[in-house]
Amino acid sequence: MALTKMAGTHHPLHFRGRVHESRGDKALDRLMKSSVGRIASLSALGLTHRGLSSLFRTLLADPRRSLVNLVELKLSHDWMGVEASAVVLPHLPRLQTLDLLDVTVELQAADIMSFPSLRTANFTSTWYTDDSFRGLIRILQGSPTLERLVIDYTEGAWPSGWSLDGALSGVSVPLHMLDVIIMNSVEPSAVIRIGGALDMPKCSPVFGYVNDWVSGPELLKSQPNAHCHILQSFASCTCQLTIKFLKTHLNTLALILQPVVPEKDRKCRCPTFSVAFQEKPDTLDPFVRLGDAIKSVPNIQSRVMTIYLSLSDLSLISGSDAIEKEWKKLFSSLSSLKELHLLNVSLFDDSLRTLVQTFNADPMIGGELLSVNVEFQASDIATNSLLDEESLNRDGVREILWYALAANCEKLRFLELGPVPVGVCTDEEWCMQWHDILQLLLTRRQE
């Protein structure tokens, strides 16, 4: 443990370092004991079973002194297969940020508001124990001003068949100032129990998973039997929903189900369901599972109005009959779909052609579609003059299938392709087809 910032004799102190109960620095221990009331931030990595717990015993050895000015606390445990002993936290009246990684917490006094100023709390774990979760709940019960909460459990942290019945029996946690709650890789039954215990009227939860496209759909399907007001409100709401498969602002590839209206503008507090992919999916199974789950709750199915698909972020097998069947299954589940947005479309694979043929092969698919928008990759547009006749025809850019799409989707009013490659838009056959499409759609809009 080291002192990283100190100015003057009465200024705040900031400590950051690693702790080992058998390798203490006596001079530093004396300084910390005598200056407990001046510590504003503390960031510690425990290297041994009792590293962190011994640190707090040192800090709180004198009952006349307390961490009264601590604003930020970050504790982590380099567990190496050994669980850390519980850290006993005192009343921290000014604490605003709490960040725990693989650390189990107990409170000195569970009957008071231990963290009355806490604004942000992050709980990350690579393992689960009853004690660790009870500690989390006690922290939340003592944090009435909490605004942002992240609960992040890595893969494998939740034991098979485990439930929260004991940890959450009869528990109600009022978090009326909570604006953001993110639960990452939390097993569906646990999400239900946590959501049922937390009273958070201002919050729109985010349920996220990584390379796990099973848990999110399971969570959706569990709604009819779930005693969780978050899921119940979601199923009974009237807000329009959208599906997105694209890279987020963090450059993470994700499949997302969420309300159309941005959170800051929406009146409801419906959640977001998300699965992040570390590699491009080589199957449509994640989409099909999500579609099946949506279809299982009619009031959710009827609200999915738009879908955004980044086709270049799929790694599907070209020409596979199974792919066309999976596209069909997905869009059959989205019977209320109004808008289809195809993004980052490459001229050099046949994903676009396969998808459009799915609509053309079954008039029952896309029956409610009003608008289709296709955006080609900018890099492909720059090199499109190098494409030969066979490539343009094979990839479905110039084929007659676009008129078939407009004709089969009888409610379609708008079809936008852009920018169309130069080798296509100057072709006589394409120009005739596009003219016929525009006339058909114009006639419909005038009806």
Q: What DSSP line would sit under 59-95, residue for residue?
A: HTSSTT---TT--EEEEEE--TT-PPPPEEE---TT-
120-134, 293-307, 360-374: which has the highest mean pLDDT? 293-307
Q: How confident is the model at residue 6 (pLDDT cuts 50, 70, 90)?
A: very low
Give, for 44, the enclosing helix (H) or strand (E): strand 39-46
Q: Is the pLDDT of residue 198 over 70?
A: yes
For residues 52-60, average pLDDT: 84
Q: How many other C-beta atoms are found inside a 10 Å radius of the C-beta of residue 154?
A: 14
User: By the 8 A CB rule, do 159 and 133 touch?
Assistant: no
Higher per-residue confidence, 30 vs 443: 443
User: By the 8 A CB rule, do 146 and 178 touch?
Assistant: yes
Strands (E), 248-384: 253-259, 272-277, 304-310, 339-345, 371-376
47-61, 261-275, 412-426: which has the highest mean pLDDT? 261-275
Higher per-residue confidence, 292 vs 31: 292
Q: How confident is the model at residue 225 (pLDDT cuts 50, 70, 90)?
A: low
Q: What is the mean pLDDT of the chain?
A: 82
User: By the 8 A CB rule, do 73 and 98 touch?
Assistant: yes
User: By the 8 A CB rule, do 297 and 235 touch?
Assistant: yes
The structure tokens listed for 86 are 């519980």
pTM of the model: 0.86
Q: Is the pLDDT of residue 155 over 60?
A: no
The letter for the amino acid at 285 is D
Q: What is the pLDDT of residue 166?
A: 52
Q: What is the pLDDT of residue 394?
A: 47
124-133, 224-233, 357-366: which has the highest mean pLDDT? 357-366
Q: Is 49 helix (H, G, I), strand (E, B) or coil?
A: coil
61-75, 245-259, 298-312, 424-438: the lowest-pLDDT one:
424-438
Cα dihedral 396/400/406/409 (nearest 10) = -80
For residues 132-138, average pLDDT: 78
| Segment 371-391, tens digit of pLDDT | 999 888 776 555 555 455 555
Q: How confident is the model at residue 277 (pLDDT cuts 50, 70, 90)?
A: very high
Q: Is the pLDDT of residue 98 over 70?
A: yes
62-71, 78-87, 135-144: the lowest-pLDDT one:
78-87
For residues 25-47, average pLDDT: 79
Q: What is the pLDDT of residue 383?
A: 55
Q: Diameter of the chain by CA atoms? A: 89
Q: What is the pLDDT of residue 351?
A: 79
For residues 342-354, average pLDDT: 80
Q: Is the pLDDT of residue 81 over 70?
A: no
Phi, psi of 314 (to 5 degrees): -105, 145
33-37, 129-133, 388-392, 409-413: the lowest-pLDDT one:
388-392
Q: What is the pLDDT of residue 112?
A: 64
Higher per-residue confidence, 302 vs 419: 302
Q: Is the pLDDT of residue 7 over 50?
A: no
Q: How many other C-beta atoms are found inside a 10 Å radius of the C-beta of residue 422?
A: 12
Q: How confident is the model at residue 136 (pLDDT cuts 50, 70, 90)?
A: confident
265-274, 285-294, 417-426: the lowest-pLDDT one:
417-426
CA–CA–CA angle 300, 253, 340 (5° rounding): 45
Residues 6+ apart with CB under 8 A from 336: 301, 302, 303, 304, 305, 368
Q: What is the pLDDT of residue 196?
A: 79
Q: Is the pLDDT of residue 10 over 90?
A: no
User: By the 8 A CB rule, do 357 and 328 touch?
Assistant: no
The rounded distance, in Å, linking the Cα atoms of 252 and 276 is 7
For residues 240-251, average pLDDT: 91
Q: Is the pLDDT of residue 72 over 90?
A: yes
Q: What is the pLDDT of residue 370?
A: 95
Higher per-residue confidence, 59 vs 182: 182
For residues 291-314, average pLDDT: 94
The letter for the amino acid at 104 is T
For residues 300-317, average pLDDT: 92
Strands (E), 108-240: 120-125, 148-153, 173-174, 180-184, 198-199, 206-210
User: By the 8 A CB rule, do 56 and 36 touch?
Assistant: no
User: By the 8 A CB rule, do 316 and 351 touch?
Assistant: yes
The rounded distance, in Å, linking the Cα atoms of 127 and 375 is 44
Q: What is the pLDDT of residue 111?
A: 56
Q: What is the pLDDT of residue 3?
A: 47
The rounded distance, in Å, linking the Cα atoms of 46 and 103 is 9
SS (H, E, C) 224-277: HHCCCHHHHHHHHCCCCEEEEEEECCCCCEEEEEEECCCHHHCCCCCCEEEEEE
For residues 346-354, average pLDDT: 76
* C-alpha of 46 from chain center: 29
